[in-house]
Amino acid sequence: MPKTLSLFFYACAVLLFSLFAVTSRAAALPALPIDADNLSGIVEFDDYLALVTDEGSRLAILKRHGADWQLQQTPSLDKDSVELDLEALAYQAPFLYALGSHSAKRKKLKADKNQKQNLKRLAQTSPEEERQRLFRLTLNQNADITEIQSLSLQEILAEQKIVAPFISIPSKENGIDLEALTVDAKGRLLVGFRGPVLRGNWVPVLRLKLQSDSHFAVKKTKWLWLNLDGRGLRGMSPVKDADGSHQGQLILAGAVGDQALSYAVYYWDESNQLSGTDRDTQGLRLLCEIDSPQGKPEGIQFKRRGKGSIEFLILEDGVEGGNLHLQTCRF
């Protein structure tokens, strides 16, 4: 092959790697006694993997055995009949956190109703109190749950003048939809919003400093703002060096509703990215897009950094078993 063609193909390969994540296989998940077709959140810690579904009230905790995962327990956070709309998980020893969407819903139209009746249904939106919960599960060294506590972020949302008007709007119509959760470098929780996405493509992240005692309560809050090119947050995961030191966050982002936007992965240094003379312009950057997912990417878990690349797990909603797989993109 002529040298010029070889250089051309090499350049094309580099370009594709820079634009799209490279997919490889991950350890398969076992059969799960939760709704495995609607998995929405993931977090890996020690030798364990926790998964959550946006259907029902249960989560799954698995333990690593060699190259495989084996189901350890599927605790319920409420009565099995309750719909909690759990969207994200985070871990900070000894606590496992699970986040409800805090979203509202609109009544659906029905084919057996006339137009007047359906118009009345269309006008009705309602808050779902069961979804308005952030859970903290205390785990022992075997990842058994010793205590479950919960609180609502609804009052905090209502006090924020920019966010409050979106509370009564259904999530897929650019209303409130909490779908990402992680822990930052100082041990604070970061709550990522799928919606709303404001004019100018600004999307909020709520930072929570919790009480230091055993009482599960919020001590202090701060609002941060990101521009994800019109996307909302779907998942977050801390980036760590080989020595375990914290190096910012991976963000999985996608459309609020049915907009024709790709799924993408960003790196964020946890700084406020709102426009201003004091903004760190290098604090947020697009790493790659996720090409042709089978389902809807909902969860991300950092794995490792290499020279010029980063590897992570992607979990997809709407596909059997979550299609858990490894992806790599430039870094």
In this prediction, residue 229 carries a pLDDT of 96
Average pLDDT over residues 39-63: 95
DSSP string, 269-319: -S---SSSTT--TTSEEEEEEE-S-SSEEEEEEEEEEETTEEEEEEEEETS
Q: What is the pLDDT of residue 328?
A: 95
* pLDDT per position as a tens digit, 157-186: 999 999 999 999 999 899 999 999 999 999
Q: Residue 136 CB: number of other CB atoms within 10 A? A: 18
List the one residue out of 70, 87, 68, 86 whose CA is nearest residue 78: 86
Q: Give the residue with greater pLDDT, 21 vs 218.
A: 218
Residues in the chain: 331
| pLDDT for 92 | 96
Q: Which pLDDT score is estimated for 320?
A: 85
pLDDT of residue 291: 85
> Could you tell me the end-to-end alpha-carbon distance of the chain, in angstroms, rounded to an integer?
31
Are the C-beta atoms of residues 172 and 194 closer than 8 Å to each other? Answer: no
CB atoms inside a 10 Å sphere around CB 49: 24
Residues 205 and 224: their CA atoms lie apart, in Å, by: 5
Mean pLDDT, rounded, for 178-205: 98
Asked if residues 136 and 95 have their Cβ atoms less than 8 Å apart, the reply is yes
Distance from C-alpha of 123 to C-alpha of 28, rounded to nearest angstrom: 44
Q: Find out whether 283 and 269 touch, Cβ atoms under 8 Å.
A: yes
Q: How confident is the model at residue 243 (pLDDT cuts 50, 70, 90)?
A: confident
| The model's pTM | 0.92
Residues 17, 8: Cα–Cα separation, whole Å: 14
3-state secondary structure of 202: strand
Q: What are phi and psi of 238, to 5 degrees?
A: -65, 140
Give the class (CATH, top level) of 21-330.
Answer: mainly beta
User: Which residues face 138 on adjacent strands?
Assistant: 95, 147
Distances (CA, A) of 154 to 26, 95, 134: 37, 22, 10
* pLDDT, mean over the chain: 92
The stretch 208-219 carries a mean pLDDT of 94
Please state, in angstroms and rounded to a whole number, the distance separating the CA atoms of residues 39 and 292.
18
Q: Is the pLDDT of residue 14 over 80?
A: no
Q: Which of 283, 270, 58, 97 is nearest to 184 (CA)?
A: 270
Cα 168 from chain centre: 22
Q: Is the pLDDT of residue 258 over 80?
A: yes
